Structure 1
Amino acid sequence: MTADQRLLLVHAHPDDEVIGNGATMAKYVAEGRGVTLVTCTAGEMGEILVPELEHLAADRDDQLGEHRRGELANAMKALGVSDHRFLGGFGAYRDSGMKWHEDGHAIAADETDPRAFANADLTEASAHLVAIIRELRPQVLVTYDEFGGYGHPDHIQAHRVATYGAALAAVPSYRPDLGEAWDVAKIYWGAMSESRMRASLRALREAGDTTTFEGMDPDGPLPHFITADENLAAVVVADDYVDAKMAAMKAHASQITLDGPFFALSNNQGSSVWGHEFYRIAKGERGELGEDGLETDLFAGL
């Protein structure tokens, strides 16, 4: 990768990257910055939303991972991202599955495959990422917070691998066989703005939509994956790339339906909801701030 500024994203399953970071990815590619996506599993245990694809499920043909591999490739084409990889190679780690806790967040499934990503040895999995970091030498890394957004065990493991991998990559004496040490200058956790989410929910309810994000009250408590605005560090404004983000979402057809909540938000709120992508800073110093007190470029100050 020859771009002077390089962004590395670490996500758990195909489609995770588009929802939170798709517009950022498309914008940075268009600006000539290097963008690399590392996906930790193929999403073999995902819920299939297309009836004619139900035979791909893990308890039937068990081919969903291969199908989602193709969806991911198409989504990356829509965003313009040419460098996307699976951690350790395709099939190295399997989707761990999940179930819902009564409090509304995800938790580990009752049974997991021995190859499940949540069961992976942290040092071994992180070493795969160390090799990528030392090869690409990114200045910025994006992943999830410590709860994985909503508790999915693979999201939590991706956070751990990204965090530990970045730390190990900077140690000169650690695994020199994986390349020359590299210290990632800035690490961000993807986030969703509380004020924008409340405004979007309010608009949906006022429009008579009571089913999108059912049970979420615009004036009540919100799930963990919504971030209080005072904890936000950066926003990438990429309204011009919302169409690319929507096309990438459509590419993940087995997981995201056109009548689902993401498109409902888009139809009601337009680019204002999906063209602004927010981040919390986990490592590094913030650079120049915009009028709202947030960085407007993840590379600010570098």
Structure 2
Amino acid sequence: MSTLVCFHAHPDDEAIATGGTMALASAAGHRVVLIVATDGELGFTVPGAAETPEELGAHRRAETQAAAAILGVHRVEFLGYHDSGMAGEDTNDHPACFAQADVDEAAEWVAAILAEERADVFTIYDDHGGYGHPDHIAVHNVGTRAAELAEVPSVVWATMNRDKIREQMAGAAEIVAQLEKPMDGDPPKMDEDMGSPESLITHGIDVSSVIDAKRRAMVAHSSQIAADSWFLKMPEEIFVMAFGHEWFVDPADPRSAGSPMIDHLL
């Protein structure tokens, strides 16, 4: 059996971006390890979830542990850096935030975990952090260096399929229009710089067989995903359409034009 290590920036990122992949790996008998850089104390907060950033951080660690248990994760490590906040905010300059971390110092910490676990596959984010979040970019930079230090055999970038998202949003709009009871709120909008074009994606993992576990792991992050949010009110068909595949880029082995994506990491 092999060991999969997934490196994420904030609580809930693991459930959304690689939750299905982790669940599949665990169900197949592989060891699954999760590393989380920050406690996500500056992320969206459901009213009443916590009174202080410290309380919120502790609450979100507990939510991450609960989500990890649902997904079959064997070990969770929190690095404890401050959340940097969204790009352009003053919090990006906080000396203790992850975006300001010394890359080599943080990488040595992560590399020690990778070496201890004898990681076979290590997931980080793409080189622009999916959508430009400073902590996601830091995960890419720190993770890349850590993988070099630990000599991990396979490093892949978790990303979003930009082309597929456009197709899905159009399809979801048609399904929603046919619902007897309209959904409240607006769906998320597509950013031109979000994710990666399909031509660069090397791995497309079908996680529909574990979609219930993935959805329950997302629900576990109740301090930042409200019960009446767009994500959790989606009809099953739309949820599978949106979250039933997870996408990765292998920078060391680009996909040739016309060749199929690989459907597994392990």
- The one-letter code matched in structure 2 to 1:298 is L
Larger helix share, 1 or 2: 2
Q: How many aligned residue pairs are there? A: 257
TM-score normalised by the chain length of structure 1: 0.79
Q: Which runs of 4+ in 1 moved over 6 A?
A: none
Query: Is there any run of 5+ residues in structure 1 with no aligned partner, and where?
Result: 99-106, 170-182, 217-221
Over the residues paired in the alignment, what is the CA RMSD in angstroms? 2.2
- The SS at the match of 1:53 is coil
Q: Distance in 1 between matches of 2:28 and 2:37?
A: 26
* Aligned equivalent of 1:225: 194
By how many angstroms is 1:262 displaced?
Answer: 2.7
TM alignment of 1:150-161, pairs within 5 A: 150-161=131-142
By how many angstroms is 1:196 displaced?
Answer: 2.6
Q: Distance in 2 between matches of 1:144 and 1:165?
A: 13
TM-score normalised by the chain length of structure 2: 0.88
Q: Distance in 2 between matches of 1:96 and 1:117?
A: 6
The CA deviation string for residues 21-61 of structure 1, in whole angstroms up to 9 with x for no partner, is: 10110011000011111001111212212x222523x3xxx
1:141 to 122, 128, 139: 122
> Is residue 218 of structure 2 the alignment partner of residue 238 of structure 1?
no
* Aligned equivalent of 1:7: 4
* Aligned equivalent of 2:60: 68
* Aligned equivalent of 1:44: 41
> Is residue 89 of structure 2 the alignment partner of residue 109 of structure 1?
yes
Percent identical residues = 36
- The SS at the match of 1:40 is strand
1:30 to 27, 30, 36: 27
The CA deviation string for residues 157-199 of structure 1, in whole angstroms up to 9 with x for no partner, is: 1111100111122xxxxxxxxxxxxx21221111222343122
Query: Is there any run of 5+ residues in structure 2 with no aligned partner, and where?
Result: 178-182
- The one-letter code matched in structure 2 to 1:296 is D
- The SS at the match of 1:282 is coil
TM alignment of 1:108-187, pairs within 5 A: 108-111=88-91, 112-169=93-150, 183-187=151-155
- Report if the CA contact (8 A) 1:185-1:284 is conserved: no
- Report if the CA contact (8 A) 1:11-1:39 is conserved: yes
By how many angstroms is 1:285 displaced?
Answer: 7.6
The CA deviation string for residues 63-83 of structure 1, in whole angstroms up to 9 with x for no partner, is: 211010110011011111121
> Is residue 67 of structure 2 the alignment partner of residue 95 of structure 1?
no
Q: 1:145 to 1:296 in 2, by over 3 A?
A: same
- The SS at the match of 1:298 is coil
* Aligned equivalent of 1:173: none
The CA deviation string for residues 179-237 of structure 1, in whole angstroms up to 9 with x for no partner, is: xxxx21221111222343122211232224681014x4xxxxx4322321111101111
By how many angstroms is 1:271 displaced?
Answer: 2.4
